[in-house]
Structure 1
Amino acid sequence: MRQLSLTLSLAFFLTAPALSVAADDTKPGQPGSAVAANRVACSLQPKAEEPADPSSTSAIPRAEKFIAREHFKEDIASSASVKISWLGATFAQRFTNKVEDDIGGASLQTYVLSTASSDKEILARLGASHESRLADVWCALTRQPNGNSGPLEINAKPNVFYVRDLAGELGAVDVLWGGVGWEIGASPVSDKPRWPAGTRVFSR
């Protein structure tokens, strides 16, 4: 069955004044300290098509899937929808065979770390809304396909998303602009303070 093509529908940024994650709990200098920045609204929606026969089953809307391997691939040609110069081996092994069923819209909150922090410290600060999807990562990348300005940092600071892999295990997916393309890696959730101050973290 032919898959419907995907078109990107990106909504505007909802910019809010910088707020601490928890006014009475997150203080500058504490591990996992982060400051809320922009909220990003975006979605990947199936392209609408006119059915040849309105009475046939082809007229019934079908849920679209996000197939990671069709999007995340190394390509820095001018024709690439997103310039990706490097995919890490761990990302390729854990995430590229993943298929996500729900590609509806999402509103992602961005945070900027004020101190070096570990994954576990960040997750504790973010709470229950810490998870993102690969479709969310791709949505953000498509906003900045050539490293242009946008919600993702492009100044050699990492952008981190917490996504479940093919086995359902939570991992850290990091996206970094490398000058000629995006570099995308993945790693297990760690308790080591490896993300430097200035890292941008995305959550739902």
Structure 2
Amino acid sequence: MKSSPFLRLWLDKAGALLIVYGMIAAAVSIVLVLALNGFGANRGDVYDPFSSPGAPAGPLDKLKFAREPGNDKHYICEKPQTDAFIARDHFKEDITSTARVKMAWLGATFVRQFAAKVEGVDVTPLQTYILQSPANIDEFVGELGARDGVKLVDIWCLLRLQANGESGALQTTSLPNAFFVRDGTGALAVIDVVWGGAGWEIGASPIESRRTWPRGTRVFSR
């Protein structure tokens, strides 16, 4: 039986509507799936389980660092009872029972850049971050805005609290604790502090070295 032109036109329109409805349904499904999977949350970001309303926005949201529990409280310790902090008087290799801080090794770069440094004794509140994947020094600076730098006296204060490798703000595993510090000439470097069993091992790497730091590094920043 031959269909009428009106019936053919109606069928064509109905088919077109079905196609349009199908496309709309598919689009809605895609939007729902993306929403459930965090579309708009920048899936390239590292999930930060410790974020808080007071957490800083910007570079820290982007790449490799996760804030630690209690990070909003900062780490700070009592300042030394001296008029000036002279690095060579505090950072010395000594693992005897009378050492104020057991230090098993000081790297040549650290000694060359920092042994002669003299600072004020005011300590700075520090925040901590855990490196979620390997990163080089440039990425450290880019994400943490570390241009201001931590002071040697800040590191010393933390070491005094864990003079014999006790638990505390500093990691006592084989993973490093990293600090950005300026030397006597104003050049920025990364100081790494690692507990070696017999004492603390302290080294330094210039910014230009592009050294890569392992996942799990604890980074201290102002």
Task: Provide the TM-score with structure 1 as the length reference.
Answer: 0.75
User: For residues 128 and 151 of structure 1, what CA distance do their matches in structure 2 show?
Assistant: 19
User: For residues 45 and 147 of structure 1, what CA distance do their matches in structure 2 show?
Assistant: 20
3-state SS of paired residue (2:160): helix
The answer on 1:79 being equivalent to 2:98 is yes
User: For residues 175 and 24 of structure 1, what CA distance do their matches in structure 2 show?
Assistant: 25
The answer on 1:67 being equivalent to 2:99 is no
Q: Say which of 150, 167, 176 aligns to 1:149.
A: 167
Counterparts in 2 of 1:26 and 1:76: CA distance versus 1, 3 Å: same
Structure 2 counterpart of 1:112, one-letter code: I
The answer on 1:41 being equivalent to 2:70 is no
User: For residues 148 and 171 of structure 2, what CA distance do their matches in structure 1 show?
Assistant: 19
User: For residues 197 and 123 of structure 1, what CA distance do their matches in structure 2 show?
Assistant: 16
Q: Which runs of 5 or more residues in structure 1 are unaligned?
A: 1-16, 48-63
Q: Contact between 2:60 and 2:143, CA under 8 Å: does it hold in 1? A: no
Q: Percent identity?
A: 47
Q: Contact between 1:43 and 1:105, CA under 8 Å: does it hold in 2? A: yes
Higher relative contact order (CA 8 A, sep 6+): 1
User: Which whole-Å deviations, capped at 9, do the CAs of 1:91-143 have from their partners, x for residues lacking one?
Assistant: 0111000000x212321001110010111111111125751000011011111
Specify the alignment match of 1:58 in structure 2: none
User: How big is the shift at 1:84?
Assistant: 0.1
**What pairs up with 1:1-204 in 2 under 5 angstroms?**
18-19=50-51, 22=57, 26-27=61-62, 30=63, 33-37=64-68, 38=71, 39-46=74-81, 64-100=83-119, 102-127=120-145, 131-190=149-208, 192=210, 194-204=212-222
User: For residues 24 and 122 of structure 1, what CA distance do their matches in structure 2 show?
Assistant: 10
Count of aligned positions: 167
User: For residues 213 and 151 of structure 2, what CA distance do their matches in structure 1 show?
Assistant: 20
Structure 1 counterpart of 2:136, one-letter code: S
Structure 2 counterpart of 1:157, one-letter code: L
User: Which whole-Å deviations, capped at 9, do the CAs of 1:156-194 have from their partners, x for residues lacking one?
Assistant: 000011000121100111000001000000011147461
3-state SS of paired residue (2:110): helix
Instruction: Point out the structure with the larger helix share.
Output: 2
User: For residues 176 and 186 of structure 2, what CA distance do their matches in structure 1 show?
Assistant: 23
Q: Bigger radius of gyration, 1 or 2? A: 2
Q: Contact between 1:163 and 1:170, CA under 8 Å: does it hold in 2? A: yes
Structure 1 counterpart of 2:85, one-letter code: F
Counterparts in 2 of 1:44 and 1:180: CA distance versus 1, 3 Å: same
User: For residues 84 and 214 of structure 2, what CA distance do their matches in structure 1 show?
Assistant: 34
